[in-house]
Structure 1
Amino acid sequence: MFRSFVYMKMDCREVNALLSSIFFLLCNTGSVFATDRSSSFHRRENVNLTQLQPFVLSTTATVTEIVCLAHCLDSVLCVTAGYNGNDKTCRLYSVSTSPNDSGDTVTTHIKFYRRKATCQEFGYTTIVNTSECYKIHPTALTKTGASKECQQEGGHLIRITSSNMLTNLNVVIDYLGLLRTYLYIDGYRRQGETIWRFSDETIMTFLPWNIGEPNGMHLPNPEDALILGNGSFHDAPQSHVFGFICQRPIY
């Protein structure tokens, strides 16, 4: 486990402005003791490389291990940092593999670290009584575009599962002046069906429809996507552009 501090041999000249903004640094005879102010990293011995690969944020060559971790801390999206000791490359990812996933055994010269941080450090807000976070994006995209954006941030469109969750979310939306703005949330209906499902195929049981909704099943352009507006659910075509709400876990 790599937790709250790093101790490594390195030349103090390697400590640049980036590191200085993230760590408290003490230089002594060429060594650096770096104490992280807010986050910690957990070393992962087994990593599902296939799961990580689609979510590469950046690859940087010729860096030290501590600089690699600093780059991760400096990124709003970074959750996992991978460091190759042979060629000194650093690769950052926007997701973490599941803690219960045994994954592939990592060779000794490659080290993976999972960042542990608060929702706020990723620009998200905590979903009360969960280890999940959400973020409201007012930029209008299609359902496909919104889903891809959430995936790139390590999550998915928000899954609203209870009245308490909806109430808390609506308070924030109202505060932002977006209560009468439509926002994509997770949920879809297969053509010809009346059942609504989340994108992981779980059948939805909490469906607080607005009056007269859902009403677009038999239109030429079926309304088979789910949007939130005026505090309740509406169906809408996936091709329309709306803002959206992402949800992601914090490990």
Structure 2
Amino acid sequence: MPNITGFLFLLLLLATEGSLGNSKNEVSHGSSQNVVGRPLGNSLNAWKYCQLGWSTYERRCFRFFKTALQWIYAEAECLRYGGNLASVHSANEYAFLKKLIHQGAGSAVKTWIGGHDAVKEGIWLWSDGSYMNFRAWNSGDNQPDNYKKNEHCLEMNHGAVQLWNDSPCYELKPFICVKK
């Protein structure tokens, strides 16, 4: 009889763990940061879990980091969190990122995002591998201009219009990470 009781307890424990993993209001304490479920969009099934300190937009999690790093070290830091420097896919998403920066820094500081043309000059790619289907270059300032043939990384909030600029990758700037 003790073996049957133990077996039933184990079966109940496994069933309970499975149902907890599907809870839409789940709070996980398994990592160094809590994870909180948040609804996205109009779909009841469209849930995304972002760690505390991260902000949800269109099924992705974003975080602004005030620490100023070179572009490559900012990308490495994002990789450490399981993401990449942010890619931007719409004007609304860009407005969201500008607001996120303003909330974190108190102003529209120049900030690294994931665009680069380090592989081939003029061919801009996102570090997360997604297609660059949206662009917000500061055309009034003739960007991107590869000034002194040394600008291969993308900063946002450039100039009074707060658009994109190609910048030397060694400059120190705060950055935004994204993860799915």
TM over 0.5: yes
Cα drift, residue 201 of structure 1: 4.5
Structure 2 gap segments, 5+ residues each: 1-16, 36-46
Question: Is the partner of 1:166 in helix, strand or coil?
Answer: helix
1:157 has 2:173 as partner: no
1:232 aligns with: 163
Cα drift, residue 135 of structure 1: 0.3
Question: Is the partner of 1:134 in helix, strand or coil?
Answer: strand
- Which structure dedicates a bigger proportion of its chain to strand? 1
2:148 aligns with: 219
Question: Is the partner of 1:2 in helix, strand or coil?
Answer: helix
Change (3 A) 1:199 1:177: closer
1:123 aligns with: 53
1:141 has 2:69 as partner: yes
1:76 aligns with: 33
Aligned residues: 147
Cα drift, residue 178 of structure 1: 4.5
CA RMSD of aligned residues (A): 2.8
Structure 1 gap segments, 5+ residues each: 6-36, 41-69, 79-115
- The structure whose RCO (Cα within 8 Å, separation 6+) is larger is 2
Question: Is the partner of 2:75 in helix, strand or coil?
Answer: helix
Letter in 1 for 2:52: F
Letter in 2 for 1:187: G
Cα drift, residue 39 of structure 1: 2.5
- Which structure dedicates a bigger proportion of its chain to helix? 2
1:248 has 2:176 as partner: no
Using the alignment, how far apart are the partners of 2:106 and 2:166 within structure 1?
Answer: 18
Question: Is the partner of 2:141 in helix, strand or coil?
Answer: coil
Using the alignment, how far apart are the partners of 1:192 and 1:152 within structure 2?
Answer: 26
The superposition leaves residues 21-45 of structure 1 with CA deviations (integer Å, 9 ceiling, x where unpaired) of: xxxxxxxxxxxxxxxx8326xxxxx
Letter in 2 for 1:3: S
Percentage identity across paired residues of the two chains:
25
Using the alignment, how far apart are the partners of 1:183 and 1:124 within structure 2?
Answer: 17
TM-score (norm: length of structure 2) = 0.69
2:26 aligns with: 38
Question: Is the partner of 2:33 in helix, strand or coil?
Answer: coil
The superposition leaves residues 82-137 of structure 1 with CA deviations (integer Å, 9 ceiling, x where unpaired) of: xxxxxxxxxxxxxxxxxxxxxxxxxxxxxxxxxx9732x3320001xx22110000
1:199 aligns with: 127
Question: Is the partner of 1:169 in helix, strand or coil?
Answer: helix
